[in-house]
Amino acid sequence: MGEFLGYLIGLGKNTSITQIPDGYAVLLTGILVILGWYISARQATNAFRREKANKYLLADSHPVYPILRRLSNPYLQNRTPFPTYGELQADAAQQNLQKDIREALVYFEFAAADIMHGLVSERYLYVSQRSLTMNVFEQSRRYIVSVRELHKQPSAFEVFETHYIRFAYPSLSYGAKILEFAMHRPLYKPYRFIFLCHYWFGSQGMSYPSDPMQADLKEISEAWRRSCQLVGLGRLMALLVVALLVGNWLRT
């Protein structure tokens, strides 16, 4: 058995694992300890997330549930954008609507912040609230832009915006997804940066606003499509260059 294990780890034939060099043994032990710690940490994080999941279960007893019900008609059901912050401020009769919109956005902002810091499972909210999250954000875009402009706070509800981007474009970057799996939490800022780069590339030559929040959703989709085509073409060209270099190396 010792010879078989030694063969598996590359010690050669007829060499027992008991003959492993001291440095090799220390390295292997360290790797196993780190791997065990990593698995234990992931399990502890998952257990904590399961306990906190009830905080975002939108049942009748949840304080945000009646607010979302009031916003459903006519806005969410008919996919009608909310009034802007300035419009609501100018109308004293709309202060209750202003309060409902603000509290709903604060709920989703804090939910996104918990996900960003690894306190809540993003997958859980993706499965249970994806349609609602996207609908609320899409109807809130004008309101959020007006809040940022009037209060001069360009980062207002930015975490919620990134939360929406991740739901709307889940395959934005496979490299980021691999890194997120290793870190066991989402990388919101890099993901948002990648999205903005895609929008910038895709909007070149088009009369689209520089800020995607001020662009129409159809314009964002078109910019996304054009950017994906450019990225795909770049990957194909890079693959051809690598293939040519490898071919030349093999012929020499």
100 vs 177, which has greater pLDDT?
A: 100
CA 86/CA 74 separation, integer angstroms: 20
Phi-psi region of 12 (alpha: psi -120 to 50; beta: other; left: phi over 0): left
Helix, strand, coil % over all residues of the chain, rounded to 5: 75, 0, 25
Here the tokens at position 20 are 């492993």
CA distance 160 to 137: 8
Looking at this protein, which amino acid is placed at residue 165? I
Q: Residue 94 corresponds to which tokens in the numbers above?
A: 């709309």
Which residues are CB-neighbours of 53 under 8 A, at least 6 positions away? 120, 121, 124
User: What is the number of helices (H) and of strands (E) in the chain?
Assistant: 11, 0
Q: How confident is the model at residue 119 (pLDDT cuts 50, 70, 90)?
A: confident
Between residues 186 and 44, which one has the greater pLDDT? 186
- Quote the percentage of the chain above a pLDDT of 70: 88
Q: Tens digits of per-residue pLDDT, 148-195?
A: 999 999 999 999 999 999 999 877 667 777 888 888 888 899 889 989
Give CA torsion, residues 184, 189, 191, 194, to 10 deg.
-150
Residue extents of the structural domains in the chain: 1-52, 57-168, 188-252
Distance, CA of 64 to CA of 56 (rounded, Å): 10
Whether this model's pTM surpasses 0.85 = no
Q: Which two tokens stand for residue 110?
A: 């804090």
